[in-house]
Amino acid sequence: MINFTMRFILIFTTALILSGCYQSESSLKDNLIYCPESKALSFNPQISHDISSLDATTHQLYNRLVKRDPTTQNYIPDLATGWLLSEDKLSYTFFLRENVNFHQTEYFTPTRHFKADDVIFSLQRMLDQDHSFHSVNRGMDYYFFNHPFTHLIRNIVKIDDYTIKFILKKPDITLLDSLAAHYSVILSQEYSEQLIARGTPEKIDFYPIGTGPYKFKSTNDAGITHYINHAKFWGGKVSVNNLIFDVTENNTKRYAKLLTGECDIIANPAPSQLKQMSEKPNILLSSEPTANILLWAFNSNKIPFTEKKIRQAFSQAVDQKNLLEAVFYQSATATNTLLNHQSWAYNRRSTDIQYKPQEALRTLQEMGYDFNSTITLLTPVKNSLFNHSFHKIAELIQANLLKIGVKSDILFLTQTELEKRLISGKYDTYLTSVNGKINDPDSIFRPLLSCDSTVLEGNSSQWCSKEVQSLLNLTLLESNFTTRIKNYYKLQEIIQEERIYFPIAHALRMDAFKTNISGFLVDPFTGINFQNIKKTEAH
């Protein structure tokens, strides 16, 4: 109890000292204060997939075997120096980087460098149900270890300390994407063994040890997390010595802190603040596309949405442009497909969804739609990080439908209530948002479209098409890039015609920062990256 109290006092005092210094930014060139809107759920992106957790962990604390070049989007080495694919496409051999140091902290002192044992320990935690850490902290996340990666691998074999082989269940082109994903971070096997010996295995996800550019120092209930630079980082010393995450939930307060210098960077400014921020000479806005899509799903197993023309008519009845202007301002872009426009597989020949309420009305009349009936529109009570107003969007859709004589009831449900209703199939439509887990179109298409995907895994349209399923499966095995693109183009054409979903918007990841900050990078799949961040004196 005494140790905990003293530690809390130390953290709190540090926070106060830092707060007092915020106003004098010239003395804080090697300190950086980042203000997100919510806390990390854990310090391990294997088990926590929310954006706040990814921002706090993936690039700051850890490395993966491979990563994507932020400019070219090609795979480049991280903890692996190279890799080879076998002729039968059933195995990958990776060659590992030598002389990589794990973090040395108050709670762990490593006695060896990173090696193959750490890779196998980290990734088998997700694959092997008998792994000593597979069930540790299992209650943290509904989708615990439900990653694309877990369905790919038959085995991981150690060839020697710096060579490993991944043996696949079947040829699958997405392995590198999975290894570059947030959940494929490398932990320390040695640290895990010490935690087991101490009887505290749960600490592996809350007192993290990695190989990344920053190491964990402390966190507290007030939402302040302190990282310090990893002096022995294999990738070279970072310019920031103290990286502070200061959670500030209120949008107005977060913006005020940016203006006063209490935050160098803030996450997710409110859409209504963007115009004012853009007019400030000392503030820059970062706008990055994400894999998050807001969509309206039609239950294709339930009358009247078993009919394609009915689904098309409902899509034409909604004023997409007005939705974006009323809710998102500049923080989202309109979409006509499930993929964002930056995706290599996006079909640029896709036609925009036209707002044609009178045509929609005529189609419904021709199809014998029962205008005395009332459809249900399910929507979450809780907003998502990239969608701040499910409530308002649902009401705007309801108003659009009423203009053509369609009555609807909006059901705002908690997560538990939503899951029960979705599983029961007793709903007509569902307003939701979906986020891809890896930078491959399959991570969006398969959950939403596969016959094997459950409603809780993403297939809220209850859709199953043999043609679509065949395209999904063939494309996953296809190593020819041009053929993959053609297949995904065809898939988008089918889905646009069938209209089982009405895509509304792709959310943008928005951050605001002072002009004395450079080297700011955001990956829409793995989070913010402070490795190359630099801060000069404010003017």
- b (16+ CB within 10 A) / e for 353-378: bebebeebbebbeeeebeeeeebbbb
Bond preceding residue 148 cis, omega within 30 of 0: no
- Alpha-carbon gap, residue 376 to 369, rounded angstroms: 15
Superfamily assignment of 62-207 in CATH?
A: Dipeptide-binding Protein; Domain 1 (3.90.76.10)
| Distance in angstroms (rounded) separating the CA atoms of residues 326 and 321 | 9
- Residue 23 has a pLDDT of 44
Q: In the prediction, which pLDDT does 188 show?
A: 98
Looking at residue 499, its pLDDT comes to 94
Report the C-alpha gap between 422 and 411 in whole angstroms: 12
Count the Cβ atoms, other than its own, within 10 Å of residue 489.
Answer: 16
CATH 3.40.190.10 in the chain is located at 29-39+212-282+515-538
Whole-prediction pTM value?
Answer: 0.78
Outline which parts of the chain fall under CATH 3.90.76.10. Answer: 62-207
Q: Topology of domain 29-39+212-282+515-538, per CATH?
A: D-Maltodextrin-Binding Protein; domain 2 (3.40.190)
Q: Which of 538, 534, 532, 539 is nearest to 31 (CA)?
A: 534
Output the six-digit token pair for 241.
Answer: 């010595």
Q: Identify the bridge partners of residue 374 per DSSP, sorted by sequence position.
A: 407
Residue intervals of the chain classified under CATH 3.10.105.10 are 292-509
Q: Are 308 and 498 in contact (CB under 8 A)?
A: yes
The CATH classification number of 292-509 equals 3.10.105.10
Give phi and psi for 124, each to the nearest 5: -70, -20
3-state secondary structure of 244: strand
Cβ neighbour number for residue 130 with a 10 Å cutoff: 7
Contacts of 397 (CB under 8 A, 6+ apart): 296, 318, 323, 377, 408, 431
pLDDT of residue 298: 97
Fill in the DSSP letter of residue 408.
Answer: E
- What is the longest distance spanned by two Cα atoms in the chain? 76
pLDDT string in tens for the chain (539-residue length):
444 334 433 433 444 444 444 444 434 678 999 999 999 999 999 988 888 899 999 999 999 999 988 777 789 999 999 999 999 889 999 999 999 999 999 999 999 999 999 999 999 998 888 898 988 887 644 444 555 677 788 999 999 999 999 999 888 878 898 899 888 999 999 999 999 999 999 999 999 999 999 999 999 999 999 999 999 999 998 999 999 999 999 999 999 999 999 999 999 898 889 889 989 999 999 888 777 889 999 999 999 999 999 999 999 999 999 988 888 877 788 888 888 777 878 888 887 788 999 999 999 999 999 999 999 999 998 766 555 688 899 999 999 999 999 999 999 999 899 999 999 999 999 999 887 766 678 888 988 999 999 998 889 999 999 999 999 988 877 777 788 889 999 999 999 999 999 999 888 888 999 999 999 888 877 889 999 999 987 66
In the prediction, which pLDDT does 326 show? 86
Tokens representing residue 244 in the block: 């502070």
H helices then E strands: how many in the chain? 15, 21
